[in-house]
Amino acid sequence: MAFFKLLRSSPLSARVGLAMILISIAAAILAPVISPYGETEIVGDVWQSASKDHYLGTDHLGRDLLTRLLYGARNTIAIAFVTTLLSFTVGSICGFFAATLGGWTDLSLSRVVDIIMAFPTLIFALMVLSVVGTSIIALIVVIALLDSTRVYRLSRAVAMDIGVLEFVEAARLRGEGTWWLMRHEILPNAMPPLVAEFGLRFCFVFLFIAALSFLGLGLQPPTADWGGMVRENAGAITFGIFAPLWPAGAIAFLTVSVNLIVDWFLQIASGLKD
């Protein structure tokens, strides 16, 4: 009920963003039900124009583009969400531990993060994935590890600001343990910036997976993926066919919608009003 009350007072942009996200999630969940064809089924000629049988046309192999888009939403969004959740779990816990314990724990974790962040993210991911392979598990773990360094920096900074406040010092004097302090004192007060950052990191992970797929090291064919669909159909632009623009538009659609929600959360966290 509190969420719906908050939603009623939200700006129009937030409502539009939420509607766009719900459409994307519904398309991902219902893909097997509403897709007119199978994910890998060849149903026509190469790069057919839109018609009553293929509403968005066909791709470079003759597969239905609408079907591929729906299944691509299922794969891309799910993997991006799991990756972001894993990176936030690892990064925030390590950041809270570093800020709460300080000393050698803080120094050691911070130096490890500095070393990882010293490598360009895309080059590091390409190097690791080319060695360990491009399975879904490897993709999730590698991207989550790289992204957790950014989460660590933010959560550590927020936790250090909260850790010097009086109510945290009072809890320490009562003899509360590190885990209790993190869970009951730091986490509730750190939630607003972390929730906003979660949305931003989801966008970065989502776009990063699409970029890796475009380079051939993301989700592998015949699995549908929006970034891979852009790469597979890029040659169609030469012939004036808009096949790669549909997955590119879907990427932009979801990115914009998440950013609209993030802007709303940032506005709430800052206490600013329209």
pTM for this structure?
0.85
Each residue of 112-133: pLDDT tens digit?
A: 999 988 888 888 888 888 888 8
Q: What is the pLDDT of residue 155?
A: 92
DSSP H or E segment with residue 187 = helix 187-214
Residue 35's φ and ψ, nearest 5 degrees, are -70, 130
The residue extents of the domains of the chain are 62-270
- Give pLDDT, residue 1: 59
Query: DSSP state, 135?
Result: -
3-class secondary structure per residue, 14-42: HHHHHHHHHHHHHHHHCHHHHCCCCCCCE
Can you state the angle between helices 187-214 and 245-270, rounded to 10 degrees? 170
CATH classification number, 62-270, choose in 1.10.3720.10, 2.40.30.170, 1.20.810.10, 1.10.1740.10: 1.10.3720.10
pLDDT at residue 274, as a whole number: 47
- The residues, any chain, with a CB within 8 Å of residue 159's CB and separated by 6 or more, are 95, 96, 98, 99, 100, 182, 186, 190
Which residue has 């096949």 as its token pair?
243
Q: Tell me if 68 sits within 8 A of 28, measured CB to CB.
A: no
d(CA 139, CA 128): 10
Report pLDDT digits (tens) over 206-236. 888 888 888 888 888 888 888 888 888 988 8
Taking alpha carbons only, the member of 225, 192, 227 closest to residue 208 is 227
Query: Which stretches in the chain have pLDDT values below 50?
Result: 272, 274
Q: 134: which 2 tokens?
A: 């491009």
Q: Any idea which residue has 């900074």 for tokens?
A: 157
The C-alpha atoms of residue 64 and residue 45 are separated, in whole angstroms, by: 10
